[in-house]
Amino acid sequence: MPSCFSVYIALVLLIPVLLSLRNPRGETEQNASINFSPTFSFSITSLSSRDTSDAFPFNERIRDGSNLDYDFYRDSCPEAEGIVRSAVTRIYSDHKDIAPAILRLFFHDCFIEGCDASVLLDDSDGKENRSIEKQALPNQTLRGFDYIDLIKNELEQTCAGVVSCADIIALAARDGVVLAGGPFYPVLTGRKDSFQSFYEEANNQIPRPDDDVNQTLGRFALRGFNERETVSLLGAHNIGKIGCDFISQRLYNFHGTGKPDPSIPPDFLRQMRINCQGDMNSSDDKVSAAFFTRKLSESVPGMSYLQALSSSVSSGSKFDTHYYESLLKGRGLLFADQQLMAEQKTARLVSAYASDDGSTFRMDFARVMLKMSNLDVLTGTQGEVRLNCSRPVRTTV
Ligand SMILES: *[C@@H]1O[C@H](CO)[C@@H](O)[C@H](O)[C@H]1NC(C)=O
Ligand SMILES: *[C@@H]1O[C@H](CO)[C@@H](O)[C@H](O)[C@H]1NC(C)=O
Ligand SMILES: *[C@@H]1O[C@H](CO)[C@@H](O)[C@H](O)[C@H]1NC(C)=O
Ligand SMILES: *[C@@H]1O[C@H](CO)[C@@H](O)[C@H](O)[C@H]1NC(C)=O
Ligand SMILES: *[C@@H]1O[C@H](CO)[C@@H](O)[C@H](O)[C@H]1NC(C)=O
Ligand SMILES: *[C@@H]1O[C@H](CO)[C@@H](O)[C@H](O)[C@H]1NC(C)=O
């Protein structure tokens, strides 16, 4: 473990340097005209934002994470990040689905009103009839809450009331990505938890599996993600399963035609139909649910991108470029995934990611996850630290 730990520390210190030094145009020599605009830069200086944090307005959500801190809990709960990491590692050994499950919770949380753990709330803030964010998605597809509760529980035993649920999601998502074979990236901490959840926003703003490429890019652009970042973020579909609920309409009743999506290659259609048999009546409601939603348990019908690429694989996941390779072959599982090939600007990115050993994708994914984890966070006197992740302590807004 000591050597692991020092590697970890070395990576923490190195990665930001790599991210900042990296020439954002240099990674795809195949076509220099690809617009890889470096809108995001992360430098080592932002790791010590504590000194300057007073300069930031406390009543605003800050999108770039500049009000977060490196190792925020170093004094209040020095074990915090280690506890999260070892809990995720332990759970992962029996439940591989923790990685995609928490990754999905993380996306959903950060995408709707920022990374504030609003997705975890059970409470409707005392307002009758106010539906909660959790319910904005088909409830049976939401998973990972139990894992967060387990981790929170361990943290509460060591440092009661100190570590926010929003930080737990961000840290656990990163640790899960690493365990699943994905890249390491540093996660700043100091997020506070929201007092409320955001049902309408979740319903209206989350990317949908039946979005076309323009809609997908538009939704991500509203969150400050450019085309390249959006395409790299969708690489999260490398791991986990996509539930048949989100695939079936494409297979049996595409856009109400009673026929499959004509763009699906026949052999792939057959393969997908074997995995997702005939729920012709799967409703629009289900299909229009969260883009990142998928059935995560191995026992639930669904398909992974590893299966999409190789019919000889029955399940499993690997954090490499097979998502992009699948799209190049027309073997995207979701309509929205395959749509990345419908516009040249995104198709070029897909082929750039698919065409090396995966290092371009991994670097971009690390970078975009870091950006996502800093999205519109609550810090300082905003929000609170929940004691139970599904319940606000104070119910004032
Ligand atoms: C690079 O992009 C240009 C258009 O901008 C295109 O004409 C050319 O074929 C592309 N080259 C490669 C290798 O994809
Ligand atoms: C709450 O919902 C019920 C059933 O939909 C409805 O009858 C009731 O009027 C609603 N109450 C408020 C305060 O909106
Ligand atoms: C989903 O929610 C509905 C209504 O709240 C409930 O009837 C159903 O049992 C839930 N399904 C699961 C799998 O929890
Ligand atoms: C995206 O929008 C552009 C401009 O409106 C349009 O020409 C193009 O066909 C759209 N692409 C798709 C895949 O819908
Ligand atoms: C689909 O819905 C129609 C009408 O709602 C019903 O008659 C049919 O039995 C359903 N099919 C399946 C497979 O559930
Ligand atoms: C957290 O709160 C929920 C209700 O929102 C409750 O069901 C659950 O048991 C609580 N968990 C703990 C550990 O107290």
> Has residue 146 been placed in a domain?
no
Q: Is the pLDDT of residue 164 over 60?
A: yes
> Has residue 61 been placed in a domain?
no
Give the number of whichever ligand sits closest to the CA of residue 152.
6
> Has residue 356 been placed in a domain?
yes
131 CB near ligand 2 (under 6 Å): no
The pLDDT value recorded for residue 240 is: 82
Q: Is the pLDDT of residue 55 over 70?
A: no
Give the number of whichever ligand sits closest to the CA of residue 253.
5
Cα 370 to its chain centre, rounded Å, is: 11
Alpha carbon distances (Å) from 103 to 153, 322, 384: 20, 18, 23
Q: Is the pLDDT of residue 396 over 60?
A: no
Residue 6 has a CB neighbour count (10 Å cut-off) of 10
The pLDDT value recorded for residue 20 is: 41
What pLDDT band is residue 141 in, cutting at 50, 70 and 90? low
The pLDDT value recorded for residue 361 is: 95
CATH number of domain containing 339: 1.10.420.10
The pLDDT value recorded for residue 14 is: 52
Spatial separation of the C-alpha atoms in residues 35 and 30, rounded to whole Å: 12
Q: How many domains does the chain have?
A: 1
Residue 318 has a CB neighbour count (10 Å cut-off) of 18
The pLDDT value recorded for residue 134 is: 62
> Has residue 116 been placed in a domain?
no
Q: Is the pLDDT of residue 204 over 70?
A: yes
Most confident of 37-51, 97-111, 224-238: 224-238
What pLDDT band is residue 3 in, cutting at 50, 70 and 90? low
Q: What is the DSSP letter of 241?
A: E
Q: Is the pLDDT of residue 22 over 50?
A: no
128 CB near ligand 2 (under 6 Å): yes
Q: Is the pLDDT of residue 138 over 80?
A: no
The pLDDT value recorded for residue 277 is: 81
Burial class for 125, CB neighbours closer than 10 Å (0-12, 13-18, 19+): middle
Burial class for 345, CB neighbours closer than 10 Å (0-12, 13-18, 19+): middle
CA of 281 to the centre of ligand 5 (A): 6
> Has residue 175 been placed in a domain?
no
> Has residue 220 been placed in a domain?
yes
Measured by CA distance, the residue closest to atom 6 of ligand 1 is: 31
Q: Length of the chain, please?
A: 397
- Please tell me which residue, 220 or 43, carries the higher pLDDT value: 220
For the chain, give me the number of helices (H) and strands (E)?
16, 2
Mutate to test the pocket of ligand 6, among 391, 393, 395 (most ligand atoms within 8 A of CB): 391
Mutate to test the pocket of ligand 5, among 280, 283, 284 (most ligand atoms within 8 A of CB): 280
Spatial separation of the C-alpha atoms in residues 100 and 105, rounded to whole Å: 9
What pLDDT band is residue 278 in, cutting at 50, 70 and 90? low
The pLDDT value recorded for residue 300 is: 62
61-79 in b/e form (b: 16+ CB < 10 A) is bbebbbbbbbbbbeeebee
pTM of the model: 0.74
- Which range of residues forms the domain containing residue 313? 213-370
- Please tell me which residue, 364 or 119, carries the higher pLDDT value: 364
Any known ligand binding at 109? yes
129 CB near ligand 2 (under 6 Å): yes
Percentage of the chain modeled with pLDDT above 90: 48
User: Mean pLDDT lowest for which of 270-274, 279-283, 337-341?
Assistant: 279-283
- Please tell me which residue, 17 or 90, carries the higher pLDDT value: 90
Mean pLDDT of the 58-84 span: 84
The pLDDT value recorded for residue 353 is: 95
What pLDDT band is residue 305 in, cutting at 50, 70 and 90? confident
Task: Give the mean pLDDT of the chain.
Answer: 78
> Has residue 269 been placed in a domain?
yes
User: Mean pLDDT lowest for which of 127-136, 155-164, 353-362?
Assistant: 127-136
What pLDDT band is residue 39 in, cutting at 50, 70 and 90? very low
**Is 108 one of the catalytic residues?**
yes
Beta-carbon contacts of 392 under 8 Å, excluding residues fewer than 6 positions away, are 121, 123, 125, 193, 194, 195, 196, 384, 386
User: Mean pLDDT lowest for which of 32-46, 263-277, 302-316, 329-343?
Assistant: 32-46
344 CB near ligand 1 (under 6 Å): no
CA of 137 to the centre of ligand 2 (A): 21
Cα 252 to its chain centre, rounded Å, is: 29
> Has residue 331 been placed in a domain?
yes
Q: Is the pLDDT of residue 368 over 90?
A: yes
Give the number of whichever ligand sits closest to the CA of residue 138.
3
Q: Is the pLDDT of residue 179 over 90?
A: yes
Percentage of the chain modeled with pLDDT above 70: 70
The pLDDT value recorded for residue 320 is: 87
Structure tokens at 288: 């229009």
Any known ligand binding at 207? yes
Q: Residue 377: beta bridge partners?
A: 62
